[in-house]
Amino acid sequence: MTPRTIYEWTLQKAAAPAAEAWLATIAFIESSIFLVPADVLFVPMALAKPPRAYRYALTATIASTLGGIAGYYLGHYAYEEVAKPILAFYGKLDTFEQLRSSASRDAIWLMLVTWGLAHMPPIKVVTILSGAAGTNLWLFIATCVAARGARFFALAWALARYGERIRDFIERRLGVLAAAAAGLVLGLRILRSTAIAKGNNRALGRRRIEQPYYIWSQLYLLNPG
């Protein structure tokens, strides 16, 4: 199946009788192996039944977080056997290995936030990386819930309030807005690192300033499309 075929197949599930179950399923597998984001289902479902928009947001957040935990465990316990072939299949293995060998725990936390807000890097990459690097599981879960919840509940609010009028804006501009939010997080991280560099530990501060720029370049390489 081509990416376009997979996209269209996923979109059709929004009108299925078991649409909410499909939303949970796609949100779950998107976080470790699947190509199409849950937004593809979430937006038409919330537009079709605005009173259920927040319920769908909760479903997507929980399922996405559980899928993220599955990806974490793939990276932590089955990297060579399962996760590595998945990354190779999507053509992300070389860049992933570079990140795995150089990214600090703070950098991985930053990627968790940008993943949740803007799908940068792709979800499957950052969940597997978190597990492979041994990131604290509870911090990982809390960040997934906060970042993914922020995205889905913001979408639910906009769709419930404005309905079909905002659909075109979301489909055309959501990625830009989410990337801007992720860029703001990165900017705050750099400002914090700059402040550290002005303190006593200048060498550590310089490394913390340089790493976000490196990470952002890797996010660009990892991001599909």
Q: Where exactly are the structural domains of the chain? A: 3-222
pLDDT reading at 25 higher than 80: yes
Cα separation values, 61 from 16, 76, 162, 183, Å: 20, 22, 21, 22
Helix H or strand E segment including 164: none
Higher-confidence residue of 13 and 199: namely: 13
What would the pLDDT profile of 156-204 be if each residue is shown by its tens digit? 998 888 888 877 776 666 556 656 655 665 565 556 555 555 555 555 4
What would the pLDDT profile of 111-136 be if each residue is shown by its tens digit? 777 666 666 666 777 888 888 888 88
Q: What's the whole-number average pLDDT of the chain?
A: 75
Q: Is the C-alpha dihedral spanning 207, 209, 210, 215 positive or negative? A: positive
Residue 7 CA, distance from chain mean position: 18
Q: What is residue 127's predicted lDDT score, i.e. its pLDDT?
A: 85
Total residue count of the chain as it appears in this document: 225
Q: Which of 88, 139, 90 is nearest to 111 (CA)?
A: 139
Residues 71 and 123 sit within 8 Å (Cβ to Cβ): yes
**Considering the entire predicted model, what is its pTM?**
0.74
Q: What is residue 225's predicted lDDT score, i.e. its pLDDT?
A: 42
In the predicted model, what is the mean pLDDT of residues 213-224? 48
Helix intervals (H) in the chain:
3-12, 19-30, 39-48, 53-77, 84-89, 93-102, 105-118, 123-132, 137-162, 167-197, 202-222
Residues 26 and 41 sit within 8 Å (Cβ to Cβ): yes
